[in-house]
A and B are shown apart, each in its own frame.
Chain A
Amino acid sequence: MVEMLALEGRWNSRAADKAGRLASIAFARNGKILDAGHIVEVLERLIRPGDRVCVEGDNQKQADFLSRSLAAVDPERVHDVHLVLSVLGRPEHIDLFERGIARKVDFSFSGPQSLRLAQLVEDGRVEIGAIHTYLELFGRYFVDLTPNVALVAADSADAAGNLYTGANTEETPTVVEATAFRNGIVIAQVNEITGVLPRVDIPGSWVDAVVVADRPYAIEPLFTRDPAEIDDVAILMAMLAIRGVYEPHRVRRLNHGIGFDTAAIELILPTFGESLGLRGEICTHWALNPHPTLIPAIESGWVESIHCFGGELGMERYIAARSDVFFTGPDGSLRSNRALAQTAGLYATDLFIGSTLQLDRDANSSTATRGRIAGFGGAPNMGSDPHGRRHASAAWLALARGEDGIARGRKIVVQLVETFRASGVPTFVERLDAADMVGKAGFAIAPVMIYGDDVTHVVTEEGVAYLYRAANVDDRRAALAAIAGVTPVGMERRQERTTALRAAGVVAFPEDLGVRRGDARRSLLAATSMADLVRWSDGLYDPPARFRSW
């Protein structure tokens, strides 16, 4: 049937093309199973110069067998590839450009490769289409960036090509859906092929071939923060965030960035939060990766639900045993989905809180600093106000604006930063490094992570700036200066102005919020070590080796 249609010509050329490509790899294919020994040859035959190729690089799992194999193809045969992927995080992703296999990239995040990527740009060896938010990139997969070939990763497959992606489903459904339903080719690397899968995450009819990788797909415990490394300053900032933002706005639905300061918030909910009587009043529903530091709050009855972007190594047994809280399959394991969790984070949460590397006087925020092109991951979607939102909640309405009966609420977007980073570099700067990147490296616009007009609150060790309450730009800048410490921005603060802003509730210092700086001590943490987290979990949490001190 499909072949018949293909012969009809101009309206079915994609299907015909797909059939031709698949025929070219028949030598290595036995049913849906590909011979791993021929993988490089297979990729050379499948991928045409100029193709859009997605090599699944998620925030967590990596299709690294396939990306390593792709980096080994002959650049004479495969070149000018347009790479589309969430996370350009593997060394071999960069090798693709250095070897002339790939030419252009559209992506969201490049964390570990940010330096090498900046070098490629400098050398003119890569063309960056755009650095997207996750949802923006996923959206474009279904509009003008649909992959011709998708190389994805799964835990296991059966002979029919059904895939089990377990806790780290992440991007796979989105990438496969876009590719498979536009006559692209989907190849999945799997850790093993088994008779019966724990559950089917991707139907076999969407998958053209599976190949057993030389080793399990690469994944790092990115969301594990050792409580031993949380310092008193982070605890002070956590107390300010709870008293200054969560409590007054009754924030129940939220997302936390990764960082020791947000981990500190999670760890003082059962102590400080409990003493304020806030259990059940705040932090009940989360769009969040399975942060081990949230275990004490979960065990203390704070948390009703958590939907995850991806999994976290070591949390598998704990999650399986807490299916009331997490989204799990009938097999007990976590089901994650970045597109849906990002949608939840954008539309269904009332608050995003996270850190950044630089903030300017207008609270524009960026992690792009000189010599690094890192991208932003999940922050720009969750750290933005979805103007189309309709449903109301107490927290959203707390920031309502508008008049004549047509008021609407607002997402609470908090930047939680120490005034200076550990290296002595100021967080508050007169001008973002990102602003100097316009026009260079193919950036049509400055790589800003969160736009200042979306930022409603900034919390530092000095206090809280309620930017959304500022009457005008001048007040906004003065409020930010009031909590920016001795950074260049903070040195502009003036005593009388600050006093007036405190009186107007645009700025709050710790004493205004009933927070005693002296109380900011590690003894407030519900867990002070990884061993404590294991104890809280009743032994169900199994931290990766590098985090163990026993």
Chain B
Amino acid sequence: MTPTALRRSYVESTPRERIAALADPGSFREILDPFARCSSPYLAEQGVVAQRDDGVVVGRALLGGRDVAAVAVDGRFLGGSIGEIGGAKIARVLERARDGAFLLLDTGGIRLQEANLGLLAIAEICDAIVALRERAPVVAVVAGRVGCYGGMSVAAALCSQIIMSPVGRFGLNGPEVVEQEAGIEELDARDRPAIWQATGGVRRVEQGHADVLVEDDLDELARALRDAFRASPNRERLSLERLRNRFAQEAPR
């Protein structure tokens, strides 16, 4: 038995490898690659070395023949945080997308070093997702080591569909933030099973907060992504009406 020989791991792949493996072979065209040297101008003055793509890979790709926007956040760089440049890359590519978009989200949310600029960027991203999903699918994949937290969890929740793996985690506040704000009685950020039980892929799909659960396998993910694009592009999610309905169903009488 060779469990790993049988699969190609999403977790083990770099953001560019992930897009290349999920899109139609050879179809990905990156916009503003590292050699464009569009990195954050704010980090150096705070003593932080910048990554040349600002931790965000964007471009156009074909997905089952559709011309879509491809986005991958690099969880390795500053926890996959979204700053002004990386956020603008995502927002612009979504605004120009033709037949939909897929976002590979491995992000802790707003980049603290860029504070409000990251916040504004995420607002733009949310705006672009809502506009695009009216006419084409916008699919989020949350299957990396960091998960998807903070402002970007709102962006993910606005997508037409969310695909997760058991490794992925999805929530508004990261475990450390919950522990800090609500106390260790509420959540011990080192209690990994508790974290995955609350925010992990298996749980999120059970709850209906995410739609599809797949293993940590690029081939399985590629299939799930194509299936998601075939599903209704206008699936309603995170609308006020839906939340009211849920509340009516779940609230104790």
Contact = CB atoms under 8 A, between A and B. Distances in A.
Do A and B touch directly, given a CB cutoff of 8 Å in the complex? Answer: yes
Interface of A: 228, 270, 299-300, 522-523, 525-529, 531-532, 535-536, 545-550
A526 B12 CA distance: 13
B12 A536 contact: no
B193 A548 contact: yes
Contact of B12 (A299, A528, A547): A528
Q: Is the interface of B mostly helix, strand, loop or mixed?
A: loop
A548 B197 CA distance: 11
A549 B1 contact: no
B187 interface: no
Interface string B61-100: 0000000000000000000000000000000000000000
Contacts of B210: none
B2 A526 contact: yes
B164 to A, nearest CB: 12
24 contacts: A228-B11, A270-B2, A300-B2, A522-B12, A523-B12, A525-B4, A526-B4, A527-B3, A528-B12, A529-B9, A529-B167, A529-B216, A531-B166, A531-B167, A531-B216, A536-B3, A545-B191, A547-B192, A548-B192, A548-B196, A549-B145, A549-B167, A549-B192, A549-B196
Contacts of A228: 11, 145
Interface string B181-217: 0000000001111001000101000000000000010
Contacts of A523: 12
Nearest to A548: B192
Contacts of B4: 525-528, 532
In the A-B complex, list the 10 residue pairs whose CB atoms are closest, starting with the nearest: A535-B3, A550-B166, A545-B193, A548-B192, A528-B12, A550-B196, A548-B193, A549-B167, A532-B4, A536-B3
Contact of A546 (B145, B166, B190, B202): B190
B192 A536 contact: no
Contacts of B3: 527, 532, 535-536
A358 to B, nearest CB: 29
Contacts of A532: 3-4
B184 to A, nearest CB: 15
B11 A528 contact: yes
A528 B9 contact: yes
Contact of A545 (B2, B11, B192, B200): B192
A436 to B, nearest CB: 34
Contacts of B145: 228, 549
B190 to A, nearest CB: 7
Q: Is the interface of A mostly helix, strand, loop or mixed?
A: helix
Given A547-B192, A549-B192, 17 more contacts: A228-B145, A522-B12, A525-B4, A526-B4, A528-B9, A528-B12, A531-B166, A532-B3, A535-B3, A536-B1, A536-B3, A545-B191, A546-B190, A546-B192, A548-B196, A549-B167, A550-B196
Nearest to A546: B192
Given A549-B167, A550-B196, A550-B200, A529 B2 contact: no
Contact of A529 (B11, B191, B200): B11
A70 to B, nearest CB: 30
Contacts of A525: 4
Contacts of A535: 3
A374 to B, nearest CB: 25
A92 to B, nearest CB: 23
Contacts of A550: 166-167, 196, 200, 202
Contacts of B193: 545, 548
Nearest to B167: A549
Contacts of B191: 545
A448 B166 CA distance: 46
A269 to B, nearest CB: 12
B253 to A, nearest CB: 35
A536 B216 CA distance: 15
Interface string B212-252: 00001000000000000000000000000000000000000
A532 B166 CA distance: 13
A275 to B, nearest CB: 12
Contacts of B167: 529, 531, 549-550
Interface string B1-25: 1111000010110000000000000
Contacts of A528: 4, 9, 11-12
B22 to A, nearest CB: 18
Contacts of B192: 545-549
A535 B216 CA distance: 13
Contacts of A545: 191-193
Nearest to A525: B4
A122 to B, nearest CB: 32
Contacts of A549: 145, 167, 192, 196
Contacts of A536: 1, 3
Nearest to B194: A545
Contacts of B200: 550
A111 to B, nearest CB: 20
A529 to B, nearest CB: 7
Contacts of B216: 529, 531
Nearest to A526: B4
A154 to B, nearest CB: 28
A549 B191 CA distance: 10
Interface string B93-111: 0000000000000000000
A546 B9 CA distance: 22
A523 B216 CA distance: 14
Considering residues B11, B167, B192, B196, which has the most beta carbons from chain A within 10 angstroms of its beta carbon?
B192
B189 to A, nearest CB: 12
A299 B3 CA distance: 11
Contacts of A299: 1
Interface string B160-189: 000000110000000000000000000000
A523 B12 CA distance: 8
A228 B1 CA distance: 21
Considering residues A523, A527, A548, A549, which has the most beta carbons from chain B within 10 angstroms of its beta carbon?
A549
Nearest to B1: A299
A232 to B, nearest CB: 12
